[in-house]
Every structure is written in structure tokens, then in C-alpha cells.
Amino acid sequence: MDNKYTVLIVEDEKGIGNFINTILTSNGYGVLRALDGMTAMMMITSHCPDLIILDLGLPDTDGTKIIRSVREWSQIPIVVVSARSHEKDKVEALDLGADDYVAKPFGSAELLARIRTALRHAALSRETPGMPVTGLFKSGELTVDYNKRRVYIAGTDARLTQNEYKIVVLLSRYAGRVLTYDFVIKSIWGPNFKGDNQILRVNMANIRRKIEKNPADPQYIYTETGVGYRMAEET
């Protein structure tokens, strides 16, 4: 099995690195390895991997510095795999440009799913940069009709407001990927918006009331507590 994607594993703990390596090679990925930040940057610039799996606690640098450096010139997907599980660490990594954040310990199925999502979004960005969103997004009974600018549940118009629709569209375009509160707010209300997260929480409560059978136990838009929101994968 060969899916032609090459992944750079930046992980100084050899046991975890070997575990990730086994997961990837058994699923057809090519693998590069780096045990520290300096080697990682050399391999990123020389090999241009399709995706980077990045630990934050490296012996010679903090992984967030690598994210910041790579994002100055490249949109290579970066999936952080770290023992740091505090909300502020997740938010910082995602706001700096990481595509996803997986906390240790993790399962192989979860890691592979996050990798597939990051690669898919990278491919979509390359194919349609700056193009208007068209077509349909479907997940369960939820349908987003980009052409009609409507959201339907089981065929019935959910009657979202303009901002509610924009939020759903944004999340659906990044389905499977967590978007931080700050990213959503800046995308919807603009980079100079000075308010807090309350306006987003109010809009999300209204969206869930309109599209979820049980807003307290959502099946379409999930909350990553203290971090942001994630739309269910397309089905």
C-alpha cells in the first residue's frame, strides 16, 4: 500500500516516535524522522514533507517556534502531538497555524483521522485558493447548500441568520478540524473586532437550537472546551 504522502515525525522520545512510525508505514505513508528542532527545520526545507507531526517539548527548542517559523513561508499541514494538554497550549499552537492538536496518549485511529483531515484541507486549499464556496456539504441530516446560502436539517430550512450561516459555512469548510474561538471571531467579524467570545457563544447557542436534536449533546458542531469548535466530518 502506497499513498505517496511523506510525513516528517518530529519527536525526541524514541518509543513514541517508533509507535507513530509503525502506524504511518503500515498505512502506506513515507516517513522522515527528526529528534530535535534544528534537524526538523533542515528536513522541512530540504525534503518539503506533505505533513509534519510535531511534538512541542523538543530538547533544543519549543515546538511552537517551529510552527511560527514554518508558517512564515509554507502551509505544510502541521499536526501537533504533545503531552501538553492545557487549553492555553492547544490554543497557542492552533492560533500560530497548527492544523490540529492531538494530546498524548492517543490511539492510532484518532491520529490517522487527524492526518487525513489535514491533508484533505491542504489539497482543497491548493485546488481552489480564494474561490467562492459552491456545492453542498452533508453530514447526517445536516445539509449546507452553499449556492442557495441555506442550511437544512432533514430537508427543512433551519432559518439561520446571516452570521449564523457564515459560522456554519466556516466550520463546514474545515470539517473535522478544530477552529479556535479567536480564528472564528476574526473570520466572521473581522480582525479588528474588539469584543470577547460572548457574541460567538450566543450565536453558537442559537445555531445549535436550530440544527441539533439535543443542543446539550450536539452531533454536528462539537465544543473543544476552552479552545474552539469542530464540525463533524462530511458523510
pLDDT at 129: 46
At 70, list the grid cell. Answer: 514554518
**Range of lowest pLDDT (64-73, 190-199, 201-210):** 190-199
Helix (H) or strand (E) holding 151: strand 150-153
pLDDT at 132: 53
Residue range 136-231, CATH number: 1.10.10.10
Looking at domain 6-127, its CATH class is alpha beta
At 126, list the grid cell. Answer: 491548493
Closest residue by Cα to residue 13 from 67, 55, 63, 66: 55
Beta pairing partners, 179: 229
Cα–Cα distance for residue pair 113/229, rounded to 1 Å = 17
Mean pLDDT for the stretch of residues 155-181: 92
> pTM of the predicted model, to two decimals?
0.75
Q: Is 127's pLDDT higher than 70?
A: no
Order of strands across the sheet that contains 136-139: 136-139, 142-145, 150-153, 156-157
228-231 and 178-180 strand pairing: antiparallel
pLDDT at 113: 92
Task: Give the domain ranges of the chain.
Answer: 6-127, 136-231
Half-sphere CA count of 23, side-chain side, radius 13 A: 19
Q: Judge if the upstream peptide bond of residue 105 is cis by omega within 30 degrees of 0.
A: yes
**Range of lowest pLDDT (32-41, 129-138, 139-148):** 129-138
User: pLDDT by residue (tens digit) across 79-93?
Assistant: 999 998 888 999 999
Q: Residue length, the chain?
A: 235
